Chains A and B, each alone.
Chain A
Amino acid sequence: MSHYSHYPDYDVLSLINEWDDHTKEIVLKRLGPFPEPQFLEEKEVKMLRLIAKHLCYENRDDIIDWIIYFLDQRLKSNIGEHQRKSSLPQEKILIREGLKATDEATAQKYGKNFISAEIKEQFEILSSMQQGKAPMIPRWDSILQKELFDKLLDIMISAYYSHPTIWSEIGYGGPAYPRGYYRIELGWTDPWEPRRPGADKK
């Protein structure tokens, strides 16, 4: 997995002393260390780590740790899930049952469970779920595979793109209070913003 970036010299965390305390505290917590999962079980965590690697195209364990922590916190809490199709179970159940279904579908096709499957096989299973075409098993009757895929994607991608390492790689300026931006016109940057090597200093 390549980590090519337009901004190899940029580290958003080097700006942290310019951020307000509340934001600082929130962002730093994403770097760990994280407590043990409270909702997810060991086997679920193993599967979810692999799934996160595929969905986010990411191999770095510290970033996966944060994604799992975020997911666990969310599933543990009773705050709502904003919206849900009336035909679907609650997200806690969707994910827990969905992982069992994913394992069963992998076994159906490859004769092994998801964790023991080759990376390519895991990828095939996930891609087929996105299209609603995973190997047929009875559990898909109550767990809609595309909805499961989208739910995992939604939560994992939200966490992934909230990690400061990823902000640095994509060249996101990050939190900007109290400082704000002054040079917002096309082609202009404030002195602390990410710049490509060799770019004009405008």
Chain B
Amino acid sequence: MENKDPVQHNCDHYDGHRYKDMKHRKYGDKEVDVCIVGVGASGGVLVYELSKAGLDVVAIEAGPFWNPQSDFASDELHSYSLAWQDTRLSDGKDAIKFGHNNSGRGVGGGTVHFTAVFYRFHENDFRVKSTDGVAEDWPISYYDLEPYYQKIENDIKVSGPKELPWGTFRGPYPYPVREPISANSQIFREGCEILGVRSSVVPLAILSAPYDGRPPCTNRGFCNEGCMPNAKFTTLIQHVPKAIQHGAEILTDSMVTRLLTDKNGKVTAVEFVHDGQLYRQKAKVVIVSAFSVESPRLLLNSATSQYPYGLANRSGLVGKNLMVHSGHDVFAKFNEEIRLYKGTPVMAYTQEFYASEPSRGFVRGYTLNAHGNRPVALAKNLAVDGGYWGKGLRDVMLDFNFYAQVSLVGEVLPREDNFISLSNEKDEYGLPRPLINFSYSENDNKLIKDAVQKANDILSARGGKPAFVIPDSGHVMGTCRMGLDPEKSVVNSFCQSHDIPNLFICDSSVFVTSSGCNPTETVMAIAARTADYLIDKMRQGPI
């Protein structure tokens, strides 16, 4: 029966059709041009661009097709249900926290509860080996991505300053800069000014004026809980509905468990589970866009006798070089009320410390974001990561409104010791759970120390009393990196795997280095570039 309302959590969606079961699939046993695994930041862009170009596309997403009005709420605890909650085994000296902290699930992926801070990388982010003698260079330059950065900013109407003081791109952005800014961002900018540190209002994937039937932001501050008014961009509300109009089919609540290959070694189909039932989707090309943990996990789980170490893994690097951003939160107490809960969480930043600076004793750098917060997130971090509990915690929390916060987004260098592999423990699908190992390097730790000091200097200059620093991290990247040499990378510069020409991996896992800023604009620009390449190639003939 036809049902147009996605509130029902239908599992099959294509133009004019919404179904609660898999009996009416648009393509069924037919082979489509492209099958995309995962509909997050990258998958959303891919399904939109490829279907717009007239290709037959099916995108398969493990989580639901969210409805912001009935699935989201103005509540922190409730928002955990928007995240990838499935247990991941996490070890290492600086074991990573997953779930809401860094992983999305459902159409939109991480964009559903991300903070929407939207930066371009700088030119030298792509040339870390050449400039600093560590890590690797990317096989692409800033200028290869420049037209795609511009396209993405324009497609979603990023709001931002007319002029930026740092980076390769100096503005302007398509939509006006956000104004006014929150008290926490104001305090931060005033502290910067006293110290002679340049700061700016942040470019945001959040509307400052109406666009495409969506209203501007009302500053309610719940970006990490899902934006109910739809002022914040997500691929759920921006790209996917348009892709459906262009003919794409989206299958949801459907976990892809294996990629299938034929005797020639090419990928032929994907297998997925919906409601305990196993299904297949045949495709000429498969793109894995399932995020830096699930993408390598799926490749490793798809091993065959021909590919005993998993697909696309000739280099042995699938799962290796996992990176995060160091994301320590620095708090100072003020005599006046800051009220961290109000306004879009991040509205001011500085990249004054972004580039390498030999006198600091470490390479690379970081962004400092003035960052809002809410009671559960703050109390939980103070408790579990800061060691506060009982009366101590209660006393801090009673002064909740008097704290200001700055958060670091620090570059973490890629190392093979940081990786995801398969464990012996099985999940509900009978698949090995991922085992992640992560520790910071000496360079990473020196960078963190410097950044924490700078954040405290800024808050102190404005009259704050340094209160506590909570170790945190954000964003997972790497694990299937791009490169020119098939022995030292997993995919080429267009995200096509070196080993299997009709298998692409296109998401945050292809990052070669992490940069010192939030990654999603780069994830999306890479996806748009991959889409262009594929459209062009597929016009020329089979891949």
Contact = CB atoms under 8 A, between A and B. Distances in A.
A55 B389 contact: yes
Given A82-B100, A177-B220, A185-B180, A170 B397 contact: yes
Interface in B324-341: 336-339, 341
Interface in A73-100: 78-87, 90
Given A161-B375, A172-B400, A180 B220 contact: yes
Contact of B73 (A22, A70, A160, A184): A22
B387 interface: yes
B229 interface: yes
B87 A84 contact: yes
B221 A181 contact: yes
Contact of A172 (B98, B219, B374, B389): B374
A171 B99 contact: no
A181 B219 contact: yes
Interface stretch (B45-53, B89-97, B151-159): B89-97
Interface in B69-85: 69-70, 72-78, 83, 85
A86 B75 contact: no
Interface residues of A, number: 63
B391 to A, nearest CB: 5
A153 interface: yes
B22 to A, nearest CB: 23
Interface string B365-391: 000000000111011100110010111
B376 A158 contact: yes
Contact of B341 (A6, A78, A85, A172): A172
A19 B228 CA distance: 12
Nearest to B184: A186
B349 interface: no
A182 to B, nearest CB: 7
B435 interface: yes
B275 interface: no
Interface of B: 69-70, 72-78, 83, 85-91, 95-101, 180-183, 186-187, 218-222, 228-229, 336-339, 341-343, 374-376, 378-380, 383-384, 387, 389-391, 393-394, 397-401, 423, 425, 428, 435-436
Which 3 A-B residue pairings sit nearest by Cβ, starting from the closest? A180-B218, A82-B99, A175-B74
Given A26-B73, A161-B397, A182-B219, 7 more contacts: A20-B69, A20-B74, A20-B228, A26-B77, A57-B390, A171-B337, A177-B74
